[in-house]
Chain A
Amino acid sequence: MPSVGGRVRAGIARAGGKRVPALAATLACATAALGLTGCAAEPDPGTVTVLNSATDTAEHTANQRFFDRCAKPLGIKVEQISVPADQIASKTLRMASSDSLTDILELDGSELPQFAQTEGLRPLKEAGVDTSGFSASATSLGSYDGVQYGVARSVNSLALIYNTKLLEDAGIDPPRTWAELREAAKKLTEGDTYGMAFSASPNADGVYQFLPFFWSAGGDEAKLDNGKGEAALQLWKDLLADGSASRSVVNWNQQDVNDQFVAGRAAMMINGPWQVPVLSAQKNVDWAVAKIPVPEAGKDAVPPIGGTVMAVPKNEDRAREKRAGDLLNCLNSEQNQLQWGESVNNVPTRASAAQAYAEQNPKLAPFAELVTTARSRTAKVGTGWPIVGDALAGAFQSVLTGRTSPEQAMDRAQQQASAGK
């Protein structure tokens, strides 16, 4: 939907007086966009355009503040075109086919390989983007085939968020191993409150939440039937069989999980730092963050790394690519990353900035630490991720609803993943 961009541009046109043609162009574009071709507006050399999913007003404004801060010294303007997150991919493709791509694309990390494969993105080094000093997981999030195409300003992951009062009352420390998790969840289940909540929905939310268990157990997304991932399925199944988690988890997305927690119907939950504003705004539940429990004591949790990466589409006018690169360099300075991370509750990707972030936000420190061991979903399977993710969702859904055993589920998932290639 070009509405936001359109509104911004129309605003400029009205204020400027002289720039009425810009309004006319926008209107012409809007009309053309209704047709089949879309519209390739004449790009303004002093403006860098960004396609992102900041449709929320607060997010849009925050973004613009950081963009403007960097744009001023570079002598440029930055214009955002924001569409809902699930429409970024199709919007990008439509823009690509009408040769009207923005100068910077903000894609979800899990979608980057599919766009890098089109050869429509410029390797960041060639666009003059400094890619040194980032955490290994963040670099891998933006890479395809060993080349970095996208840079993440901040990343997120998952952790165990718990209700401090309920755990204190029951005399329980936050669980660190799976055995402790099962036991704690059982003890904390009482009346209307379940011990544990997580999302097992058959879409990206559920898959993202399954990964820390799957990977920590030794599961391999490139070889789903390697015999290790079953343990994670078994754990989820046990939590439901014990009655420690609701059977509705197969429908809950991450938002639903948070709602349950805030309503006091779950003592512990798996969730990400993007819930922090909601959690901080409510008064009834005191919460804290712990690492995700691991299969055995002493092992490291392997959570997934998530977030968006900014990429530079190839442009005939190389000067535009260069300007986009300059903007990215500024956005990713240590100070800007740190402030950006704090404003969106995500962890900065420069190792030094991440450390400063952990020190300044002790409550969210577990997230900052997790990011160093976190793993990118697409590092191993690249463009095959959507199919692998789907196969994994099929596996935990059929186990949780009692249709198949964990072993059968993983065998079938591997079959699906290899058939889809």
Chain B
Amino acid sequence: MTTITSIAPAASTGKTNSKTGRAPRRQRLLRWLFVAPALTYMGLFFGYPLVNNILISFQHYTPKTYFTGEAPFNGLDNWRAVFANDLFGDALWHTLLFTVGSLLGQFTIGLALAVFFSRRFRLSGMVRAVLLLPWLVPMVVSAVVWRRILDQEHGMLNTVLHAIGLAPADGVPWLSSPSVALLSAVLVNIWVGIPFNMVILYGGLQEIPRDVYEAASLDGSGPWRTFRSITLPMLRPVITVVLVLGFMSTVKILDLILALTSGGPADSTQTLGTVTYQLSFLQLDFGQGAVVGNVLILISALFAVLYLRANRADFGKGK
């Protein structure tokens, strides 16, 4: 706002505005002009697909549609079919477990590492750089490597666990048992997500003024008390960002699971993401695929709203 007024010379101060009369309109126009690129972009790349996706979920949308352009509306048929499908309920539940599990793991480990590296010591920078590696590896590549590590018979993890007496002789069926596979997927995703959490939280920690800690130590506060009463509260805005962004990227997970288990064994790792993929691109039923997609969008939107509200509260308090 302030930038706009300063750029528009005729409207440099509030007083001149009220006198000239033509200026406010021009100012308003200018404001819109500045917002226009962002609005066009949002409309084109978010609004259009979003509206289209909602429409498609009420249409009989098949390969034929692409050839003839015809997509008859079929009311709630797609929604009914998706909700009647057992797989949808399972996938919803798996998505919840996967997301909560991943976020908990990523966040706690990421935070612990961030706190650890926020003290200065030798080689800290180098170790931090190495810890960033999982972030740089493409998701599909990590999944393929992890598939080998988690192999029941020849995987490294079982070999190591067995050597130190933590696994039975025939190994833990990481990816071949329906009751373990989802946990394995969560573990891999935690590994993938730690660097992101660590980097953002580390940045947040650097923002906290040193003298607050000094004051705390003068008052005789121990490390745990300092962490609880100073670090956590001052880190709160950053924590919100990390959790919300983490949530959004985890809830729609697809590539990791496809490469790791293809949703198996026995559908135990199917999530909303893989079900959308399966319906749309394997069964080519785009209407039903769009329904699941919309459910995903709805869940994400809910969290986006929560995030915005939390942020507004922060600004209100801070300024």
Contacts and interface: CB of A to CB of B under 8 A. Distances in A.
Contacts of B195: none
A248 B178 CA distance: 12
**Residue with the highest number of chain B CB atoms closer than 10 Å, among A36, A90, A246, A247:** A247
A400 interface: yes
A373 interface: no
A398 B86 CA distance: 14
Contacts of A400: 265
A318 B282 CA distance: 32
A406 to B, nearest CB: 14
Contact of B66 (A93, A203, A393, A394): A93
Contact of B84 (A90, A119, A419): A419
A118 B63 CA distance: 6
Given A97-B66, A250-B176, A251-B175, A201 B283 contact: no
Interface residues of B, number: 33
Contacts of A96: 66-67
Interface string A95-135: 01100000000000000001101111000000000000000
Contacts of A212: none
B152 A246 contact: yes
Contact of B284 (A119, A202, A265, A386): A386
A40 interface: no
B173 A247 contact: yes
A102 B262 CA distance: 31
Nearest to B49: A36
A167 B153 CA distance: 23
B176 A401 contact: yes
B293 interface: no
Nearest to A249: B176
B177 interface: yes
Contacts of A119: 64, 67-68
A391 to B, nearest CB: 11
Given A120-B67, A248-B151, A397-B265, A89 B176 contact: no
Contacts of B177: 247, 401
A334 B265 CA distance: 44
A403 interface: yes
Nearest to A96: B66
Contacts of B176: 247-248, 250-251, 401
B20 interface: no
A202 B263 contact: yes
A248 B175 contact: yes
Nearest to B179: A401
B281 A90 contact: yes
Contacts of A246: 152-153
A397 B283 contact: no
A7 B276 CA distance: 33
B67 A390 contact: no
Contacts of B261: 202, 251
Contacts of B84: 419
Contacts of B154: 265
Contacts of A118: 62-64, 66-68
B264 A250 contact: yes
A250 B152 CA distance: 11
B175 A398 contact: no
A59 to B, nearest CB: 21
Contact of B266 (A93, A94, A248, A403): A403
A387 interface: yes
A420 interface: yes
A202 B265 contact: yes
Contacts of B85: 419
A420 B63 contact: no
B276 to A, nearest CB: 14
A114 B64 CA distance: 8
Contact of A387 (B178, B264, B283): B283
B265 A401 contact: yes
Interface in A166-224: 201-203
B165 to A, nearest CB: 21
Interface string B54-89: 000000001110111100000000000100110000
B147 interface: yes
A387 B85 CA distance: 12
A265 B154 CA distance: 10
Interface string A383-396: 00011001001100
A353 B69 CA distance: 42
Contacts of B68: 118-120
A114 B264 contact: no
Nearest to A394: B267
A114 B63 contact: yes
B231 interface: no
Contacts of B151: 248
Contacts of A93: 63, 66
**Residue with the highest number of chain A CB atoms closer than 10 Å, among B66, B81, B152:** B66
**Residue with the highest number of chain A CB atoms closer than 10 Å, among B177, B262, B278:** B262
Contact of B262 (A89, A94, A202): A202
A36 B51 CA distance: 14
Nearest to B153: A246
B283 A202 contact: no
Interface in B230-288: 261-267, 278, 281-284
Given A36-B48, A400-B265, A386 B283 contact: yes
B152 A117 contact: no
B284 A114 contact: yes
Given A96-B66, A114-B284, A202 B153 contact: no
Interface in B18-77: 48, 62-64, 66-69
Contacts of A120: 64, 67-68
Nearest to A101: B67
A390 B284 CA distance: 13
Nearest to A97: B66
A173 B69 CA distance: 58
A203 B154 CA distance: 23
B183 to A, nearest CB: 15
Given A96-B66, A118-B66, A390-B278, A202 B175 contact: no
A93 to B, nearest CB: 4
A376 to B, nearest CB: 19
B229 to A, nearest CB: 48
9 contacts: A36-B48, A118-B67, A202-B261, A203-B262, A247-B176, A248-B152, A248-B176, A390-B283, A420-B283
Given A118-B62, A118-B63, 9 more contacts: A90-B281, A114-B284, A119-B64, A120-B64, A201-B264, A202-B263, A265-B154, A393-B264, A397-B267
